[in-house]
Structure 1
Amino acid sequence: MLWTNRSVSVDWIVLARALSAIGSYWGAPLVGVLLLGWQAVKRSEPAALAPFRFGVGFLVAMLLAWTAKAAFAMPRPSDLYANDMARVVGAADSLHAFPSGHAVYTAAVVACLWPLGSWPFRLLLLALAAAVGWSRVALGAHFPVDVVGGFLLGGACVAATHGWAASLKRAADGWGATR
């Protein structure tokens, strides 16, 4: 962690901040709207299910992430290292580090978009997720384990809630058919 954090030149901090902003869960409403638009344009079963997978998976993942942050109460790098050891850029989003909320959100987005694209698109998603994870360590906000844990939690929640999302979609389809 220290090597990644300290080896990032000031010139790369701008990129790290931009990648961190892309991976911020504040973008969830925009992703939801884009998935709804894609659903309308594409008219395929994976596209129709994607907004539901994202909505349910993201909500469950973030609730579990916030619960895990409180339960584990893992410190952030700035809480453990002096400023001369780890560079911290910006203010922390929350008090605790594990799991990274940015990584949870990014993994949820990747898991929802995965069935919608070809292999080149999927490789791009993986590269973007890795870049967001790198940004969180480079900015001094997280340890690598926080990021990996966040990726696992976000992806697992979208996968685990697939049945709920499909049921919700069927209910919405049924409700729309009765109107």
Structure 2
Amino acid sequence: MKAVLYDWGGLNVWLFKAVNAWHNEVLDRFMLLGSLLAEHSNFAIWLSVLVAAALWALHRKGQRALMPWFVVIAVFALGNLVDGWVVGGLKSWFLFPRPSLALPPGAVYVVGNPELNLQHSLPSGHASFAMLIAASLWPVLKRPGRYAAVAFVAWVGLSRISLGAHFPADVVAGSLSCLLVVWLVRRMVSGIVH
């Protein structure tokens, strides 16, 4: 089962090596920034940005603009809580090693501070948090904002591979598990407010 769902018949490691092999100073800084923006510890900053955006929408469009933003903020806050439980639970259940532990010494180019817990790779918490931000905002975004949201999720996911912290399967699992969490939380919140 692992060979199909996680190893992808060798494609998971091959993709990791292909992305992790590209490095220069500018690219590494760009990838570090992507990971930094998707740190769970930035929750309060992102929440503040959402509240500021809601206040700006209120100023520009009046009270009719508040309900969609209230749902976005509620989904983001509740989704962060649920997603934290899901990611923590899945990491403890699977106990898949990070690339630097799973691959031979010298096969992984690690940028920045290496992850402290080498046995908790699946799913990627950074990819999950990036998806939480994008999926929470999705209903209030117009087409350019949606493109930016997709690009942000891709950037963070690639950054985790490029920096040597996660395999592609970890990134995909983090993104998909959070997408499911956001969908369920949004249904619950929408059922309450409507």
- Provide the TM-score with structure 1 as the length reference: 0.88
Cα separation, partners in 2 of 1:168 and 1:32, compared to 1, 3 Å: farther
| Residue 104 of structure 2 corresponds to residue 82 of structure 1 | yes
1:22 aligns with 2:37: yes
Contiguous gaps of at least 5 residues in structure 2: 1-15, 59-64
Among all aligned residue pairs of Structure 1 and Structure 2, give the percentage whose two residues are the same amino acid: 28
Separation of aligned partners in 1, 2:191 and 2:117: 33
1:98 to 107, 111, 122: 122
Q: Are the equivalent residues in 2 in contact too, given 1:62–1:104 (CA < 8 A)? A: no
1:126-145 per-residue CA deviation (whole Å, 9 max, x = no partner) reads 01110111000000000000
Tell me the distance in 2 between the aligned counterparts of 1:98 and 1:6: 21
Distance 1:128 1:161 in 2: 21
Structure 1 position 4 matched with structure 2 position 4: no
Q: Which runs of 4+ in 1 moved over 4 A?
A: 167-170
* SS of the residue 1:7 aligns to: coil
Structure 2: distance between partners of 1:168 and 1:32: 21
User: Is 1:66 aligned to 2:81, yes or no?
Assistant: no
- Greater CA drift, 40-49 or 102-111: 40-49
For residues 21 and 124 of structure 1, what CA distance do their matches in structure 2 show?
17
Could you tell me how far apart the structure 1 residues matched to 2:145 and 2:43 are? 20
Query: CA RMSD, aligned part only?
Result: 1.7
Task: Give the corresponding residue for 2:8.
Answer: none
Please list every run of 5 or more consecutive structure 1 residues that lacks an aligned counterpart in the other structure: 171-179
Question: 1:10: how far off?
Answer: 4.0
Say if 2:146 is the partner of 1:122: yes
Is residue 46 of structure 2 the alignment partner of residue 31 of structure 1? yes
Provide the C-alpha distance between the structure 1 equivalents of 2:36 and 2:103, rounded to a whole number of angstroms: 24
1:157 matches 2:188? no
Distance in 1 (CA, whole Å) between partners of 2:104 and 2:144 is 42
Structure 2 match to 1:173: none
Contact 1:58 1:157 in 2 (8 A): no
